Amino acid sequence: MSDGVDEAGWDVEPGDEIEPVVQAVGRLLRVCREAAGLSVAELAEALGYGEDMIRKIERGVRIPRPELLDRADQILKAQGHLRAFLEDMRKARYPKKVRELAEMEGRAVELLLYSHHNIHGLLQTEEYARALLRTWRPAYTPDQLERMVAARIARKSVFERSPAPEFSFVQEEVTLRRPVGDTMVLRRQLEHMLEVARLPFVELQVMPTARANHPGTGGLIEVLKFLDGTGVGRTDGDFSGRPVSNPRQLRVLDLRYGIIRAQALTPEESLVFIEQALGEL
């Protein structure tokens, strides 16, 4: 990539349960390479990557990108044995915490999402997400940054589900005005939000800064509800920020979110508000 990131994949996080699968793929790649009579250098040249990267993948310390496996399957005439792991590697390339979150979002039939510092991750454009993640400290390496951006954007596939879940977003006004990246990044971000807000299964509301007397002052609130009637939620203010599924705790989050939703601008008023904010840039 332009930042010098090696596109072959990402390092395996220590203790990640996906590690044995990555190691198995690495061993299989080595077996297929040796069966094809190619050296590491020859395979690296054919794939367009460095020898050290191929060695890392074969040792199971580097997660190969799906496209690398697909190409290697062709070159090594692996008869689909490497391609069989494409979906596993698509999932493995995202950090464990993101995989768990994406799995829950993928099962949810209703998502209640209040964000007070930044645009919610499911609403972010790729360039906004990259600019935002660059502000984190300690700073991500270029490799880590691209992995986090890719993971965040991949989560947006939840909008493509059929039937789609119901989304309710409430964004604090300040998140629409903070020029993360620069003014043009924010402009394109607000334009994207307007597009998402017009989807039939999305309600997006803005909480004006002037409306300070609401329970959102304690931090973000997220509640995901599943088809079987269960759910999971989290908030900055309580439960140490950890996900909770206890019905009693979920009722607390539901109550807070309901008050926030009622005090925010209506979806129609919010569209006008975002359009006005866009016009001011």
pTM of the model: 0.75
| Residue 21 near residue 28 (C-beta atoms within 8 A) | no
pLDDT the model gives residue 3: 30
pLDDT the model gives residue 94: 72
DSSP type of residue 244: B
Distance CA 57, CA 4 (A): 19
CA distances from 93 to 18, 32, 65, 138, 260 (A): 9, 22, 7, 21, 36
| Residue 28 near residue 57 (C-beta atoms within 8 A) | no
pLDDT the model gives residue 54: 93
**Alpha helices (runs of H) in the chain, residue ranges in sequence order:** 19-35, 40-47, 51-59, 66-75, 86-92, 96-107, 126-133, 142-154, 173-177, 183-197, 247-263, 267-279
Phi, psi at 175, each rounded to 5°? -70, -20
pLDDT tens over the chain, length 281 residues: 223 234 445 677 766 778 888 999 999 999 999 999 999 999 999 999 889 989 999 998 888 888 899 999 999 999 999 999 988 887 777 777 777 787 888 899 999 999 999 999 999 999 999 999 999 999 988 888 888 898 888 889 899 999 999 999 999 999 999 999 999 999 999 999 999 999 999 999 999 999 988 988 888 999 999 999 999 998 887 776 678 999 999 999 999 999 999 999 999 999 999 999 999 98
Contacts of 52 (CB under 8 A, 6+ apart): none
Residue 169 CB burial class (10 angstroms; 0-12, 13-18, ≥19): buried
Q: Are strands 62-64 and 108-115 parallel, antiparallel or unpaired?
A: unpaired
Contacts 24+ apart (CB under 8 A), 10-17: 10/62, 10/63, 10/93, 10/143, 10/147, 11/61, 11/62, 11/63, 11/143, 12/60, 12/61, 12/62, 12/63, 12/92, 13/95, 13/96, 16/96, 17/96
Question: For residues 128-147, b (16+ Cβ closer than 10 Å) or e, as one string?
Answer: bbbbbbeeeeeeeeebbbbb
Distance CA 114, CA 266 (A): 14
pLDDT the model gives residue 4: 29
Other Cβ atoms within 10 Å of 79 Cβ, number = 10
Q: Provide the β-strand partners of residue 203.
A: 168
Q: Are strands 202-207 and 166-172 parallel, antiparallel or unpaired?
A: parallel
Distance CA 168, CA 201 (A): 9
Phi, psi at 206, each rounded to 5°? -110, 135
Work out whether the CA dihedral 178, 181, 185, 191 comes out positive or negative.
negative
pLDDT the model gives residue 118: 93
pLDDT the model gives residue 151: 83
